[in-house]
């Protein structure tokens, strides 16, 4: 059974005072490491110009990691599956006739559109905005892809339009490039220890030659 599903099943016991074995062993790898500041994708910048509420830091947001109990962890799974089922994958060129356009999807959308909608729905369910971070990765083919990171005390979990299962970030096949800072949603940080990422769009993250 996957770690996420196992955690949801047993967290009721764990939060009563027991320590989950998965949390006690090799715990640091549950969390992403940040390697300096990066510049945001231009599609994100344009999105924030027209959707300021989605990009504003909450005055009530805590700097501490969100303590996601079993009910909240289940919400991640439910929203990931719900949005994945409701939206059909399509490029921005196919839907809008442009190379890069971040927005809320209708019935079709690009990877970042899935992320935007999932983040919005989870915030309406009480998730703090600074625990839901838009993240840029390279997928198995070396191509740019966007996922949503849920930053919790239990680990950094990934909501992905390619798979319905919510996974710990280390259990995905991706190379992590950059993501929003939990301190300020308009600031982006590098997840690549070798170099900070350029301010290119998701679509601009080309396959390595």
Using CA atoms, how far apart are residues 187 and 197, in angstroms rounded to an integer?
A: 13
Q: From CA 169, how far away is CA 162, in angstroms rounded?
A: 14
Per-residue pLDDT tens for 40-94?
A: 999 999 999 999 999 988 766 677 899 999 999 999 999 999 999 999 999 999 9
110-158 pLDDT, tens digit per residue, is 999 999 999 999 999 999 999 999 999 999 999 999 999 999 999 999 9
Q: What secondary structure does DSSP assign to 178-194, as a single string? A: EEE-SS-TT-EEE--SS
pLDDT one-digit tens code per residue, 90-121: 999 999 999 999 999 999 999 999 999 999 99
Given a contact cutoff of 8 angstroms between Cβ atoms, the answer to whether 201 and 99 are in contact is: yes
Identify the structural domains of the chain with CATH numbers, from first to last: 28-58+65-194 (3.10.620.30)
Residue 17 has pLDDT above 60, yes or no: no
pLDDT of residue 133: 98
Question: pLDDT band at residue 198, thresholds of 50, 70 and 90?
Answer: low
Q: What's the pLDDT at 157?
A: 98
Q: What pLDDT, on the 0 to 100 scale, is given for residue 45?
A: 95
Structure-model confidence comparison of residues 202 and 138, the more confident one? 138
Confidence (pLDDT) at 114 = 98
Q: CA–CA distance from 109 to each of 23, 147, 157, 166 (Å)?
A: 36, 13, 22, 20
What global pTM score does this model have? 0.82
Predicted pLDDT at 61? 66
The count of C-alpha atoms lying within 13 angstroms of the C-alpha of 41, restricted to the half-sphere facing its C-beta, is 24
Q: What is the pLDDT of residue 64?
A: 85
What is the DSSP-derived secondary structure letter of residue 136?
E
Predicted confidence (pLDDT) at residue 169 exceeds the cutoff of 70: yes
pLDDT of the residue at 1: 34
Whether the Cβ atoms of residue 179 and residue 149 lie closer than 8 Å to each other? yes
């Amino acid at each position: 059974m996957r770690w996420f599903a196992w955690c949801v099943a047993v967290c009721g016991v764990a939060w009563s005072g027991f320590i989950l074995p998965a949390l006690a062993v090799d715990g640091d790898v549950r969390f992403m490491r940040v390697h300096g500041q990066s510049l945001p994708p231009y599609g994100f910048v344009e999105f924030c110009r027209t959707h300021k509420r989605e990009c504003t830091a909450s005055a009530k947001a805590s700097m501490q990691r969100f303590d996601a109990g079993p009910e909240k962890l289940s919400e991640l799974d439910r929203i990931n599956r719900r949005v994945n089922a409701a939206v059909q994958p399509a490029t921005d060129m196919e839907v809008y006739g442009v190379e890069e356009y971040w927005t809320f999807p209708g019935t079709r959308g690009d990877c970042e559109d899935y992320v935007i909608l999932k983040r919005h729905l989870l915030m309406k369910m009480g998730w703090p905005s600074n625990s839901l971070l838009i993240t840029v990765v390279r997928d198995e083919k070396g191509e740019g892809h966007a996922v949503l990171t849920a930053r919790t005390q239990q680990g950094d979990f990934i909501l992905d339009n390619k798979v319905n299962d919510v996974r710990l970030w280390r259990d995905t096949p991706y190379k992590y490039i950059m993501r929003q800072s939990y301190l300020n949603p308009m600031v982006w940080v590098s997840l690549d220890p070798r170099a900070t990422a350029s301010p290119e769009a998701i679509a601009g993250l080309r396959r390595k030659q």
